[in-house]
Amino acid sequence: MLNYSWKQVNVMKAIQNYLKKNETGNLKRNYMDAYQNESFHHLVDTLNIEENLLMKYTSQLEEAAVEKENCKHCRNLVTCKNKMKGYCYTPRKEKQRIIFSYEMCSRKEKQEALLAYQKNIHYFRIPKQIAMASFQDFYKDSKGRVPILKYFQSFMEEYLKTKKGKGLYLCGSFGSGKTYMLAALFNELAKKGVESCMVYYPELLRLLKSSFGSSYEEKFTMVKKAPLLLLDDIGAENVTPWSRDEVLGPILQYRMEEELPTFFTSNFTLEELEKLLGETKNSIEMVKARRIIERIKQLSESMVLNSKNRREG
């Protein structure tokens, strides 16, 4: 162990004190500089924390002040300037420290509450805009929608009472709003706690094709057993004996047996779909295609929606 004389000890203490003072002086100077900024001093004045503690966190407080100022001038979530959209970097005192955390803003909270229903729906490659579909911002132009909306109303009433009901096979021209309409129905039911699954069917097939073992089973089972299912754009896939006999057939069979409501959209009528599913057109294939169409007919009512193409671009 080293032995110091009392003189040496005193010199060391004096140096330590000097350094500490100097450091405190720097902290204080930085803090006072930052305090010149209006939003900074507004923030620290509202915190009710002693200056000696505040000055240890100057740069973080500056960041928090900038974010708070951004919030003051906020117009909407899309143009939020904060580091994490919809959150504000916020200080609070805890014992002898200041803790900073990202707090959700009121706009974001409102949005989250509004979208809470989406937790009830599993989406497989359904565009975000469609996932937000609602009856509120619905086109009311085309007469073709009236019978479909009437059907929706009676389906909702029956399903909410009995957990049963016949689905819909909605066919019609490209971009007429078939997917949108069914998404609006699923969303409405999700707001009432009904769980469902919306699947872009050609993509489901691609996904299943590249999955193996338990991953395949998991996806397949989720679709097969969903309380409500939408198979979107059926007929747009590359029909193969596998997709028809190992995927579509068993899904429909299970849902018929369990009486699970099933919905479809397609650019093809059922007659056209039958031809497509017949693939090689030999008699065995045609029988298999017929069987699928019969299952679809058992599971759903058929309606048509033709309207101008609503897609942009």
Q: For residues 224 and 281, what is the distance between their CA atoms, to the nearest angstrom?
A: 28
Q: CB nearer to ligand ADP: give 54 or 170.
A: 170
Q: CB nearer to ligand ADP: give 182 or 293.
A: 182
Q: For residues 249 and 296, what is the distance between their CA atoms, to the nearest angstrom?
A: 10
Question: Using CB under 5 A, which of 70, 82, 179, 266 touches Mg ion?
Answer: 179
Provide CB contacts within 8 A for 300, sequence distance 6+: 166, 167, 168, 169, 262, 263, 264
- Scanning 53-61, 118-126, 161-169, 176-184 for contacts with Mg ion by CB under 5 A, the matching segment is 176-184
Q: How far is the CB of 137 from ligand ADP (least distance, A)?
A: 6
Q: How far is the CB of 112 from ligand ADP (least distance, A)?
A: 22
Q: CB nearer to ligand ADP: give 129 or 240.
A: 129
- DSSP bridge pairs for 102: 89
Query: Which residues form the interface with ligand ADP (CB under 6 A)?
Result: 129-130, 137-139, 174-180, 265, 310-311
Q: How far is the CB of 28 from ligand ADP (least distance, A)?
A: 58
The interface partner of residue 163, options being Mg ion, ligand ADP, none and the CB cut-off 5 to 8 Å by kind, is none
- DSSP bridge pairs for 89: 102
Q: CB nearer to ligand ADP: give 101 or 129.
A: 129
Instruction: Give start and end residues of each alpha helix (H) in the chain.
Output: 6-35, 38-47, 51-54, 58-72, 106-115, 128-131, 145-162, 178-191, 201-209, 213-225, 241-242, 249-257, 270-278, 283-299
Q: DSSP letters of 258-302?
A: TT--EEEEESS-HHHHHHHHHTT--HHHHHHHHHHHHHHHHHEEE
The interface partner of residue 176, options being Mg ion, ligand ADP, none and the CB cut-off 5 to 8 Å by kind, is ligand ADP
Q: CB nearer to ligand ADP: give 257 or 312.
A: 312
Beta-carbon count within 10 A of 185 CB: 25
Q: How far is the CB of 148 from ligand ADP (least distance, A)?
A: 10
Query: Binding residues for Mg ion, per CB under 5 A?
Result: 179
